[in-house]
Amino acid sequence: SAARALARGPPVIDAVIKIGGALLRDPDALTTTIAAIDDAARRHTLLIVPGGGPFTDAVRGVDRAHTLSATDAHWMAILGMEQFAVMLASRFARAALVHRRGEIARAHSRDTLPVLAPYRWLREVDPLPHSWDVTSDSIAAWVAAQVGARRLIIVKAHAAGANAIVDSYFDRVRPPSLDCAFLTPTLLTGNWFPA
């Protein structure tokens, strides 16, 4: 039962999977990604972190036109991630939108895949600089560290250059011991999940 599962403590998170918002430009790639993660979620304990994609790009455009404060741009961009989280949660077979760390274990205890809408958690602890140097990649690395994930998998539309494709703050927030893999939707086939 859910009560017994919670009594055993939170499950070990096998992987935090960050889904890049650029996948919204390619519906087939997003569908492939969701299907592969749905399949992996049957065997592994996962947490989904959304990218910002066009939702956050809209904030960048407003910032260019109207010069937002760094703090306003930061929180507006994270709200962009929230919008993608809502969409993702509706696309997985069994998913639950979660807003705080404590909700993740409850989602797993109900046999649902937690999809993080990160605004409330980040707003409460405010752990990262308010800068465009911090993107959803760094947020995913921070989340992976906070939940003690075994690995971080970043799904990007294009994976040219691995670490070169993440933001400049990423290596400062990612624990050195955290295994990190960069995958494209076309790599999410067969036995893609690291052993």
47-59 confidence digits (pLDDT tens): 999 999 999 999 9
pLDDT tens per residue across span 72-90: 999 999 999 999 999 999 9
As a dihedral over the C-alpha atoms of residue 191, residue 174, residue 111, residue 113, rounded to 10 degrees, the angle is -80
Sign of CA dihedral 150, 45, 169, 179: positive
| CA neighbor of 59 nearest in space, from 19, 119, 112 | 119
- Sheet with 179-183, side-by-side order of all strands: 95-98, 113-116, 46-50, 15-19, 151-155, 179-183
Q: Is 17 exposed, middle or buried (0-12, 13-18, 19+ CB in 10 A)?
A: buried
C-alpha 169/C-alpha 190 separation (Å) is 32
pLDDT tens per residue across span 152-169: 999 998 765 444 478 889
| pLDDT > 70? residue 67 | yes
pLDDT confidence band for 68 (50 / 70 / 90): very high
Q: Mean pLDDT across the stretch 18-25?
A: 95
Q: What are phi and psi of 115, to 5 degrees?
A: -115, 120
- Least confident among 7-16, 19-28, 141-150, 184-193: 7-16
pLDDT at 163: 47
pTM of the model: 0.91
pLDDT confidence band for 71 (50 / 70 / 90): very high
pLDDT at 159: 60
The answer to whether 153 and 17 have CB atoms below 8 angstroms apart is yes
pLDDT confidence band for 187 (50 / 70 / 90): confident
Please give the mean pLDDT across all residues of the chain: 90
For residue 179, the SS3 value is strand
For residue 169, the SS3 value is coil
pLDDT at 195: 62
What is the number of other CB atoms lying within 10 angstroms of the CB of residue 16?
26
C-alpha 22/C-alpha 29 separation (Å) is 10
pLDDT confidence band for 150 (50 / 70 / 90): very high
Characterize 22-45 residue by residue with b for buried, 16 or more Cβ atoms within 10 angstroms of its Cβ, and e for exposed: bbbeeeebbebbbbbbbebbeebb
